[in-house]
Structure 1
Amino acid sequence: MAGHFEPVPGGGAAVALDEVEISILRSLAVQLLELIGPGDEPVEGEDPLAALFAEGPSEPPADPALARLFPEAYAGPDADAKDEELRAASAEFRRFTERDLRSRKRADALTVVRTLDSLTSLTSSGEGGAVLKLTADDCLHWLGALNDLRLTIGTRLDVSDEDESDELYRLPDSDPRKPMVMAYLWLGALQESLVETLMP
């Protein structure tokens, strides 16, 4: 499953995907949306300007994958007591930025779902796949979502640096992590292909 993005006129990109690839990508994007959580619905009668300045959480998420998607700004998770000042600065930064970051990540994943859903009529006609065409704006959302998916899966696989990905290629088929590893490597190839396509 090694899709390869190609440039299209107007600054977008296109990739041929089969039905299985479309299904996997959509499922992963939906799971990412579930992990990130629902958006904040505006309260009836609430001042929209006040909603813009609403504060978010100040503590890092407990889930390691969410902690990777929403990392500490100044102090890492292993910071000791002498780094209390950095912890306080990180908490303050998170309080004013995490809501927007969650909204952006949610928008990225939703774009993946919606663009893949636009292919449904083509794949349901029995053609077995379709060519996904993305606008330049869609490409940026896809890059964000592909990155978030890789970070999430990488965290679940306990991948900490690029050297470990070599070990991932050598996993035996009997390893229960193999399907997740294949998805991780495939998403990396897709992401790299899209980055290369968008480079001038």
Structure 2
Amino acid sequence: MIRNLIFDLGDVIIPIDLTAPIRNFAIMADVSEEEVRALWKQHDFINHYETGLIDDSAFRVHVRQLLKNDAWADEVIDTAWNTVLLDLPVERIERIKELKKEYRLFLLSNTSPIHIRRVNQVLAGMGQPTLEELFERVFYSYDVQLAKPSPAIYNHVLAEVGINAEETAFFDDNAANITAAKALGIQAVHVQPPKTILDYLQDM
């Protein structure tokens, strides 16, 4: 019997476009998208940011240095970084609120503080609860300094909230994350377009 539901955030709750920040930074810096992508990969600072090894300020410093523009204000960088986030379908939030009556709900996301602040701003603008209010517990990669698909992050969540893997369903759009969760006995569900999370929650 499933008693617990763990949700990924990007492309599960909120649609995302992973190419948008690269595209916007390339336009701002007047360089090619390929150059920006290569710099991201070479310096790996985004992974460091999302696992809490560097903070917001250090992240912005890296962006300014790599793209050679010290004049960009924090807000300019944050806005470009947040273009990854697309419109949030309110019906997904409403469905999650309904599920709270029957299940323990958790959020597990590889993400950054800038993104989480923006998602919560969007939710507030919609008259909806924040992520921290919507779920019993939220687990952000930058807080726990672990990231999916490492088995350690799943074990951390299970231990922290005292739940059993076999009684837990996990919804994620990334195949590697699904494989890792299944290996631990979690009932992992791969959310794939054209279906949305609502399709996978119909029978719950």
Q: What is the TM-score of this pair, normalised by structure 2? A: 0.29
Q: Whose helix proportion is higher, 1 or 2?
A: 1
Give the TM-score, by structure 1 length: 0.29
Q: Which has the larger radius of gyration?
A: 1
